[in-house]
A and B are shown apart, each in its own frame.
Chain A
Amino acid sequence: MSAGADLTTPALLLSAGLFAIGVVGVFLRRNVITVFMCVELMLNAVNLAFIAFSRWRGTLDGQVLVFFVLTVAAAEAAVGLAIIIAAQRNRDTLDVDSFNLLKW
């Protein structure tokens, strides 16, 4: 684990690329579970940026932040998937365009 500064920029570019892919997926996909998976992809891209900056600055706070992001992501996945199950039970579909009860 010794390589020098050369991996920081590629890691941040990879992070930006994965985040952009996640954003595009949230816009493009209409299945609510796939949209949710794209959100997880974006969280992972942010984690990668935290790790890259943590290594670049030589501090461990980025690692701790990634730990908390992982915890929140686990909680979010549990609650989000429970909401998806409840919504599917009410609407009998997983299409994001059909979940419009909060619109007026």
Chain B
Amino acid sequence: MTLDAILFYVFAAAAVGSALVVVGQRHPTYSAFALIVTLCSLSAVFGLLGSPFIAVLQVVVYAGAIMVLFLFVLMLLSVKREEPPARGAWGVKATAIGLGAVLVAQVGSVLAASARVTPAAPGFNASTGHVARLLFSPAYLYVFEATSILILAALVGAVALAKREM
């Protein structure tokens, strides 16, 4: 096993473990902190899969901007611990976990049947320069410009929604 593979499994285990804490935790603030651990572990996984640009973006945008927004709202609203569920919620819980297990089993069976057929393309290099050249090529340029309009609309929308009086 190479060092890459060992590190991959370490960070994959950290991501799954902290994701389980996100879901299992009743207090949203603890969930948010666990989600930060998940996002940083996934950033390491992205880096190990040869995508340094997305790895850095993951930390800056997700763990930096989005999670700070989440924690800001959590502190602003002074959220409380979730109450334990009423009786009869066990059916919902069992159904949800069962459906999740079915989803993993389905994807796992498809992967077991197909993924070993062809190996990964060699010499993969997704450096910032390569990604930027594709991003600003005619194929994606207009989509890229459209996302700036989306960001502007989201900015105006968030201010309009969170304002006390319209």
Contacts and interface: CB of A to CB of B under 8 A. Distances in A.
B83 to A, nearest CB: 8
Contacts of A4: 119-120, 122
A82 B50 contact: no
A44 B18 CA distance: 13
Contact of B120 (A58, A61, A72, A94): A58
Interface residues of B, number: 87
Contacts of A1: 4, 47-50, 124-125
A46 B123 CA distance: 23
A93 B134 CA distance: 46
A58 B101 CA distance: 31
B100 A23 contact: yes
A5 interface: yes
Given A10-B9, A48-B42, A81-B69, A70 B49 contact: no
Interface string B125-158: 1100011001100001001000100110111011
Given A3-B5, A9-B111, A63-B131, A94 B103 contact: no
A27 B121 contact: no
Specify the main secondary structure of chain A where it touches its partner: helix
Contacts of A13: 104, 107-108, 111
A44 to B, nearest CB: 6
User: Which residue, of A4, A23, A55, A57, has the highest number of chain B Cβ atoms within 10 A?
Assistant: A55
Given A63-B51, A77-B70, A94 B79 contact: yes
A18 B15 CA distance: 8
Given A60-B134, A64-B135, A75-B150, A38 B23 contact: yes
Interface of A: 1-14, 16-25, 27-31, 33-34, 36-38, 40-41, 44, 47-48, 51-52, 54-58, 60-61, 63-64, 66-68, 70-79, 81-86, 88-89, 94
Interface of B: 2, 4-5, 8-9, 12, 15-16, 19-20, 22-23, 25, 28, 31-32, 35, 38-39, 42, 45-51, 53-54, 57-58, 61-62, 65-66, 69-70, 73-74, 76-77, 79, 82, 85, 92-93, 95-97, 99-101, 103-104, 107-108, 111, 115-116, 118-126, 130-131, 134-135, 140, 143, 147, 150-151, 153-155, 157-162, 164
